[in-house]
């Protein structure tokens, strides 16, 4: 299925065969060389007169200075705040800092940067009920046009409802100058869609979660665009950077269509979030979110390949669950996650995913549908193929390449299911009593 961003923008808002009306609030998207020059015109078109720009020192140099000159040349009054922390975390502190410097009378927010700046501005724009423009400085993630912000709150990584920007500006002259590692991050975030689409379909079978094939097809189309552009994009080819950015924006639109992040994130994203949480708590190594998602994708591919070779032993699964101690597991989370474990534990006390009666229901559905699950898993690319693809691009293939130990990554894989009950491979393996066995046979 070949669907363009132009089509999605032109036909935004439609009744779907899934029974929902799909809609994305993204009004404008400009991708191409020199499109940042449209910034004053866009501000005026929204009837706004006083923008507030948020950036950091790196993104100011990349695009903020250019944006400011455009505003000044067009005599547009503005306020600007530069986050001084190098590589700021997406947490309460950055939101508080950004809000403290935002004038009450500002009527439009302009995010100049990447994921952290964008997510922060989406929260501020939602709170102030004003429009939001995102000026991207790197094709590093797929949240450009989503209605959620990935933030750390009380030590736990959350997808917080915020708002979709009214406009995304992806100037390929700016984006092509982004560090290679950030371009690789965008590719890693998109490659993760192989896993998210499979897990969304499996979750629909086991938990009855809402599923839309139309959205899945659009995500697959955006993934195809990015895969075809990846090699040239890493070499800073502007046309390829534009196609990669287009795919990233399309992925965000699909999250808006679904009303959830499920079409674009699965176990690989939760692995990344666990790595981030541990880095925040203990100062352990971490990398860009998309890089971690790429490594998480390789982990998931190994697990799904092995899953296709096993059968479900009902008695073993029941014995495994009967021997499981929730108190011991909570103690383990507190040891490995720290402060953020409390929110994870509170989530389980509401969700009861470990309750024996809920397990029994899922196990029955898993056994009855296991052939179908394995057939879905066959649609994934092979681990070796994806690993070779990453090596060719220069993308890490192991968490050890950015400083984590193999045990650190193994723990992230096992604990990923506890962020929230978003059903994926970790839950399935726990249900059939094979989680640790699989975890012990994965290359990290």
Q: DSSP letter at 91? A: B
SS3 108: strand
Nearest Cα to Cα of residue 261 among 373, 160, 167, 348: 160
Entry field: residues in the chain:
444
CA-CA distance, 101 to 120, in Å (whole number)?
13
Residue ranges with strand state E in 12-62: 14-15, 21-22, 28-32, 51-56
Give the pLDDT score at 159: 78
User: Which of 120, 146, 180 is the endpoint of a domain?
Assistant: 180
- Are 294 and 429 in the same domain? yes
Q: Is residue 252 part of a domain?
A: no
Q: Is residue 241 part of a domain?
A: no
H or E element at residue 42: helix 39-45
CB 160 within 8 A of CB 123: yes
What distance lies between CA 308 and its chain's CA centroid?
26
Give the pLDDT score at 2: 59
- Are 411 and 276 in the same domain? yes
The CB density around residue 56, as the number of other CB atoms within 10 Å, is 24
Q: How far is CA 305 from CA 95, 261, 377, 420, in A?
A: 41, 24, 8, 25
Give the domain extent around 433.
266-439
Give the pLDDT score at 14: 85
Q: What is the 3-state secondary structure (H, E, C) of 342-367?
A: HHHHHHHHHHCCCCHHHHHHHHHHHH
What's the angle, vertex CA 23, arms to CA 212 and CA 171, rounded to 5? 105
Q: Is residue 55 part of a domain?
A: yes
Q: Is residue 243 part of a domain?
A: no
Nearest Cα to Cα of residue 373 among 418, 296, 428: 428
CB 223 within 8 A of CB 254: no
Q: What CATH number corresponds to the domain at position 117?
A: 3.40.50.1970
Give the pLDDT score at 150: 82
Residues 238-259: pLDDT tens digits?
Answer: 999 999 999 999 999 999 999 9
Give the pLDDT score at 1: 54
Rounded (10°) CA dihedral 226, 232, 236, 238: -70
pLDDT along the chain (444 residues), means of 10: 73 87 92 98 98 96 98 98 81 90 97 94 96 97 89 76 94 97 97 98 98 96 94 97 95 92 95 94 95 98 98 97 97 96 93 96 98 98 98 98 97 94 95 98 96
User: Which of 180, 196, 214 is the endpoint of a domain?
Assistant: 180
Q: What is the 3-state secondary structure (H, E, C) of 147-206?
A: CEEEEEECCEEEEEECCCCCEEEEEHHHHCCCCHHHHHHHHHHHHCHHHHHHHHHHHHHH
> How many structural domains does the chain have?
2
- Name every residue whose Cβ is closer than 8 Å to that of residue 376 and which is 6 or more positions away in sequence: 198, 201, 202
CA-CA distance, 367 to 346, in Å (whole number)?
30
CA-CA distance, 322 to 325, in Å (whole number)?
8
The pair of three-digit structure tokens given for residue 333, joined into one six-digit string = 């989370």
- Are 402 and 281 in the same domain? yes
Tally helices (H) and strands (E) across the chain.
22, 10
Q: Is residue 239 part of a domain?
A: no
H or E element at residue 374: helix 370-377
- Are 11 and 144 in the same domain? yes
User: Which of 180, 195, 230 is the endpoint of a domain?
Assistant: 180
The CB density around residue 34, as the number of other CB atoms within 10 Å, is 11
Q: pTM for the full model?
A: 0.94
CB 140 within 8 A of CB 290: yes
């Amino acid at each position: 299925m070949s669907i363009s961003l132009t089509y999605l923008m032109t036909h935004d808002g439609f009744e779907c065969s899934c029974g929902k009306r799909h809609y994305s609030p993204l009004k404008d998207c400009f991708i191409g060389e020199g499109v940042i020059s449209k910034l004053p015109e866009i501000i005026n078109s929204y009837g706004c007169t006083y923008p507030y720009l948020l950036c950091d020192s790196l993104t100011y140099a990349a695009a903020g200075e250019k944006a400011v000159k455009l505003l000044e040349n067009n005599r547009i009054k503005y306020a600007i705040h530069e986050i001084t922390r190098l590589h700021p975390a997406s947490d309460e502190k950055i939101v508080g800092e950004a809000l403290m410097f935002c004038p009450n009378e500002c009527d439009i927010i302009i995010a100049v940067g990447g994921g952290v700046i964008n997510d922060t501005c989406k929260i501020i724009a939602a709170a102030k009920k004003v429009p939001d423009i995102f000026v991207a400085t790197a094709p590093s993630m797929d949240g450009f046009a989503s209605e959620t912000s990935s933030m750390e709150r009380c030590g736990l990584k959350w997808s917080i409802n915020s708002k979709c920007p009214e406009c995304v500006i992806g100037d390929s002259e700016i984006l092509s100058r982004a560090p290679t590692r950030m371009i690789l991050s965008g590719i890693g975030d998109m490659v993760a869609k192989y896993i998210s689409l499979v897990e969304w379909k499996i979750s629909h079978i086991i938990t009855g979660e809402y599923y839309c094939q139309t959205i899945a097809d659009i995500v697959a189309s955006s993934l195809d665009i990015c895969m075809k552009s990846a090699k040239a994009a890493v070499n800073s080819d502007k046309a390829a950077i534009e196609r990669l950015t287009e795919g990233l924006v399309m992925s965000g639109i699909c999250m808006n269509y679904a009303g959830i992040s499920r079409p674009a994130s699965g176990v690989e994203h939760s692995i990344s979030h666990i790595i981030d949480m541990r880095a925040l708590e203990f100062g352990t190594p971490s990398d860009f979110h998309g890089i971690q998602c790429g490594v998480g994708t390789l982990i998931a591919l190994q697990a799904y390949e092995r899953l296709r070779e096993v059968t479900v032993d009902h008695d073993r699964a029941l014995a495994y669950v009967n021997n499981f101690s929730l108190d011991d597991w909570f103690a383990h989370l507190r040891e490995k996650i720290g402060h953020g474990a409390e929110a994870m534990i509170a989530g389980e006390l509401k969700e009861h995913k470990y309750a024996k009666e809920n397990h029994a229901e899922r196990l029955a559905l898993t056994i009855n549908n296991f052939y179908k699950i394995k057939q879905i898993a066959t649609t994934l690319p092979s681990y070796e193929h994806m690993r070779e693809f990453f090596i060719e691009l220069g993308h890490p293939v192991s968490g050890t390449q950015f400083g984590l130990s193999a045990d650190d990554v193994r723990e992230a894989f096992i604990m990923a299911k506890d962020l929230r009950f978003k059903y994926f491979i970790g839950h399935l393996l726990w249900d059939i009593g094979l989680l640790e066995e699989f975890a012990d046979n994965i290359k990290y």
